[in-house]
Structures are given as structure tokens and as C-alpha cells.
Amino acid sequence: MPPPAEHELTQGTDHVYHEIRSLLAGLELPGIIKNLVPNDVYEGTESLVLEARLLHARNLIAFFAEHHHKDNLIARDYGLPYQPLPIKKDEVDRLHKELAHLSRKRGPRTEETKEWHYDDLEGPLLTR
């Protein structure tokens, strides 16, 4: 696929900024919501906050790790040198399977395996 045109890069900059800003906002969101709504409402928002955090992390992982998929923009398109992210492939695969797809590979989760390791996913993105 040919490199992105200048106008695609310009438009993409806003989207990259949105993903970064949203990932950072997602870190603060649980505390903000907990202080604003009753406990019974807050419990219903936990999975929404979780999915928002994971979605923006997934998008930035694809951007920085250069997961080529048709017309994805990647960091190298903006002149940033490629540096592998220290994120386990299993965690990225789980993001794809559990967040974005209804997959047979989701399988049953135990209390131990259903926890997301935010630091392992978000930490490398936040230090970029």
C-alpha cells in the first residue's frame, strides 16, 4: 500500500491526539464517576470505563507497534522511528478477541484470568 497522502496525515493527527487524550482521561475517569454518581450506578459504569480504556490502548498499540491493516496510520508515517512495545503478544491477542470481536476463543474466565493488567498495556504507551 502506498504511504499516506499529506492530507491523510494531517487528518490523522487529530485522531492520534484523540486516542492519546482519551487514554489519559480514562485513567482518571473511574475516580471522577465514583464521586459523581451513586454506588449502584457506578457499578454499572465499571465495564464501560474498562472498555473505553482498553479500546484506546488497543488503537495506540496498533499505531506504535505498526500493526498494518489496510489503511491504518502508524507512527512511522509521521517520521517516528519504530521501537517495539514491551507488551506481550498474549495481551494484544486478548484485546482483539475480547474487546473487538465475538470470538469462540474468548472462553470462560476465572476471577484470576479475567483481570486486565492495565500497567502492562498502558505503561509502555504512556512512556512513549
Residue 77 lies in a domain: yes
DSSP string, 76-107: GGGTPPP------HHHHHHIIIIIS---GGG-
Report the domain count for the chain. Answer: 1
- How many CB atoms neighbour CB 62 within 10 A? 20
- Which residues contact residue 102 at a Cβ distance below 8 angstroms, ignoring those fewer than 6 apart? none
Residue type, 123: G
Mean pLDDT of the chain: 85
Domain that holds residue 40: 6-126
Measured distance CA(11)–CA(113) in Å, rounded: 38
Residue 1 lies in a domain: no
Q: Strand, coil or helix: what is 19? A: helix
Q: What pLDDT, in 10s, does the model give residues 85-124?
A: 899 888 888 888 888 777 776 667 777 777 787 788 888 8
Full-model pTM: 0.82
